[in-house]
Amino acid sequence: MDKYVYDFSEGNKDLKDLLGGKGANLAEMTNIGLPVPPGFTITTDACRTYMRTGSLPPEQRVQVTMALRRLEDALGRLLGDAHDPLLVSVRSGAKFSMPGMMETVLNVGLNDASVHGLAEFAGDERFAWDSYRRLIQMFGKTVLDIEGALFSDALDAKKRAAGVVADTELTAEHLTELVDQFKSIVRAESGREFPQHPREQLDLAIEAVFNSWNTERARLYRRRERISDDLGTAVNVVAMVFGNLGEDSGTGVCFTRDPATGMVGDYGDYLPNAQGEDVVAGIRNTLSLADFEVLDPAAYGELRQAMRRLENHYRDLCDIEFTVERGKLWMLQTRVGKRTAAAAFRIANQLVDEHLITKDEALERVTGEQLTKLMFPQFDPRAERVLLATGMAASPGAAVGAAVFSSATAQEWRSRGERVILVRRETNPDDLGGMIASVGVLTSRGGKTSHAAVVARGMGTTCVVGAEDLDVDVVERRFTVGGRVVNEGDTIAIDGSTGQIFLGDVPVVASPVVRYLDDDLETVLAELPVDDIDTRELVVAVDTILQHADVARTLGVHANADTVDDARRARSLGGEGIGLCRTEHMFLGERRLMIERLILADDDEGRQAALDALLPLQREDFIGILAEMDGLPVTIRLIDPPLHEFLPDLTELSVRVALAAERGETGETVERDKTVLDAVERMHEANPMLGLRGVRLGIVIPGLFALQMRAIAEAQAARIHAGGNPRAEIMIPLAASVMELHLVKDEATRVLADVAREQGVELDIPFGAMIELPRAALTADRMAEVAEFFSFGTNDLTQTTWGFSRDDVEGAFFHEYTEHGVFGVSPFESVDRQGVGRLMRIAIEEGRATRPDIKLGVCGEHGGDPESIHFFNGIGLNYVSCSPFRIPVARLEAGRAAVTKGGGDTR
């Protein structure tokens, strides 16, 4: 019989695939002796079976019965007993944390009879009826799919009628009446009575948690986080412990280090006389752990010991949920905590200094995406600003945008290209779409562990929570603070590092991490204030981890750079050469006319004159770039785009000529327009990206490639004469046949020999090919007979493998393709391993079979994508090339790829 149910004593933290993160960690805490309420986990296998067949595995019901009886025997109570009831919580728990995305039902087992038994056990009738109304409310919304506002509106109406503000001020009599109202809502909305049988409640709750795996918000979250839809969720059934038994009880969430900054210390929220969802929902503003220590020193001391023990055990920042029941501490959950980018680097470096992890492990704890976020600008501290209020800094960054007050508005305005900040009293899982669409999130309630804070931190979105001075009116779409009214559409700015909220736009400045990357550590530290400990520690952490990445990695990191400034920036950021220098960018601006003259030349003499005019300009371009990259390779791609791109637009030119004819205009300009129009019409192509471009230009247009190769050779010779160490390389674009390479290589050999003889120098300039067509990849063994290196142009290789025109398809149907699971992420964003990746692997294997020492790189945009870099490392490339700004990210990810191994799977 397949095993679908595991007691906590049977699992451990390494069984996340089977038990989900929550179940595995509850088992781990049980095993190390922490006070965990007993319970059991229904596996992800059961969920996958349910998703595949539409029904629960038949063995599951029996196994749940056996586990439930073991739980009852251990506690000496029966589920839903009328006199001394066992109550349980039913919680989701996927392999990867998805905070707030799936369902939880508390107090399962309560009914019209057992509520009296609970009151007797607690000695508190109000507590029992409050627990019962919570069950009906959560069960109705989660299991029976009843609109949650119906329950919350009824609760608010009851408070108004009773003349109270807080839930805790309602009496047992009020709550008894509310339970009857809630049951009436269930009856009216679902067509059935609220189930009174405890086992029926349990079974329906378990099935509801499985169903919550495929809610729209859960699927949206997984798409954003690139989590597979096939994993499924586990279900944890846990004996209830109560934080709402009075002032000696409570519930909280804490972190072993600050998840926003990485600072060592006690960080978290505590609510006396409350249940767990009250903290996460943010509906009541919380107390700090320092306040908790004053309220209950003994329980706080026990919590501190557990926090230290868990951090040492997991060797990482831990996120912990706990409840205090009449002075007794219970640990409800732990997991490796989500953190901001700054906290990730600081914590990784701290743990190395504390000798809890190795430098390789520190590399695995940070990501290129996090480093990118650290490179974003920050508010200029010297700028004039209008401070509205200060809340809690929940997720760092500097966000400026229009205030909006609903998730739907945020998504609508973002679709129009507007930057928005979502303002709410508190967020809930239904706000996820709006949070994704927003550059920042601002709430007037909640703490650092509220839904808004946790989700925003996970997404890297700037967030400020608990800004109590803000009176947020979502109906009128405005908030009021200090006599000021901010309406929807007004510009505000929020600082997720300080919690400050400003009116209007605030200018930004470069982050200190960017200043460090552009300069050196000592210079940046000298500029930073001595008391700015957070920033100083962050810059040191980034430096330390990047330096180790450079030591660990085997993959080189080059830059895509076409100008002297780009080359200089690339080298300052750690670039080890130029992997793609696009020569067509050098023909823009005033030089466009020279290319136009080359195209329009009707004889050899005119064509040569145009080439002669271009030669010194190209040579000087290459001299400057080779000088900046002295001693490092510079791979220069010969001109690639169709030549018509350098000519006027066909439609615009046709209109101009037609108007001139209609008006009877004559003269030199009119005649020139006619000549140019004839050339544009002659060269017009239905699909120019697959037409006369790349190597085809060099073969069809006499002298074009020879001009460029001579400019490269003369630049190399000039740098040698100047005492430099130039390392130019010639790369042929869009080659599909080895014969194309032979034709260009023969011409290159002649040109280089001529220049070497003229300049009296020896020229060693490697000759290679871009692999950007499937045929080139599939005939790489023959291509390597001529090419000394391959550089995969993954942008065009993706287009030609998928049959996509990137400019057309991304906006046309990629959203639908992602929605329907055709691909999880755009193949232009992260390399398509099964298709494009397989072609690359074939080219690598066959190229090396012909030429064992062939150099292999990639120069498409994928060269700066973290996931793609791991793949490129795994299939054995020598280097990646990316934009200068992405170089630090590529260095980091190349180091991470080296220490994590793998990454080259094309299945």
**Residues annotated as part of the active site:** 451, 859
How far apart are the C-alpha atoms of 636 and 630, rounded to whole Å?
Answer: 14
Residue type, 377: P
CB 16 within 8 A of CB 22: no
Crossing angle of helices 198-212 and 44-53, rounded to 10°: 80
Are 839 and 774 in contact by the 8 Å Cβ rule? The answer is: yes
Three-class secondary structure of residue 872 per DSSP? helix
Closest CA to 354 of 344, 362, 365, 364: 362
Q: Take residue 369 and report the two structure tokens written for it.
A: 């995406």
Q: Which residue has the tokens 């929902």?
A: 281
Q: At what angle do helices 650-663 and 668-683 cross, to 10 degrees?
A: 140
Say if residue 381 is exposed, middle or buried (CB neighbours under 10 Å; 0-12, 13-18, 19+): exposed
DSSP state of 837: I
Task: Give the span between the Cα atoms of 764 and 744, in whole angstroms.
Answer: 17
Residue 38 identity (one-letter amino acid): P
Distances (CA, A) of 334 to 169, 317, 321: 32, 10, 6
Distance of CA 16 to the CA centre of its chain: 22
Calpha distance 825→698 (Å, rounded): 36
Alpha helices, DSSP H, located in 365-440: 368-374, 407-415, 432-437
420-424 and 398-404 beta bridge pairing: parallel
Instruction: Provide φ and ψ at 170, rounded to 5°.
Output: -75, 140
Measure the CA–CA gap between 304 and 320, rounded to whole angstroms. Answer: 11
Pairing mode, strands 378-379 and 471-473: unpaired
DSSP lists the bridge partners of residue 404 as 422
Helix-, strand-, coil-residue percentages of the chain, each rounded to 5:
50, 15, 30
| CA–CA gap between residue 737 and residue 878 (Å, rounded) | 24
Distance CA 90, CA 202 (A): 8
Question: Which residues does 659 contact at the CB level (< 8 Å), separation at least 6?
Answer: none
Instruction: Classify 269 as helix, strand or coil.
Output: strand
What one-letter code names the amino acid at 405? Answer: F
Of the candidates 457, 453, 399, 455, the residue with the CA atom closest to the CA atom of residue 432: 455
Residue count (the chain): 907
Q: Half-sphere exposure of residue 447, counting CA atoms within 13 Å on the CB side?
A: 22
Query: 674 to each of 618, 644, 660, how far by Cα in Å?
Result: 29, 15, 10
Helix axes 604-628, 564-572, angle to 10 degrees: 20
- Say if strands 478-481 and 471-473 run parallel, antiparallel, or are unpaired: antiparallel
Helix (H, G, I), strand (E, B) or coil at 92: strand
Any residues with CB less than 8 A from the CB of 527 and at least 6 apart, and which?
515
- Residue found under tokens 């050196």: 520
The two tokens of residue 43 are: 């596996």
User: What tokens were used for 824?
Assistant: 């999880």
Residues 6 or more apart whose CB falls under 8 angstroms from that of 167 comprise: 130, 155, 159
Contact indicator for 555, 880 with CB cutoff of 8 Å: yes
Cα–Cα distance for residue pair 532/539, rounded to 1 Å: 11
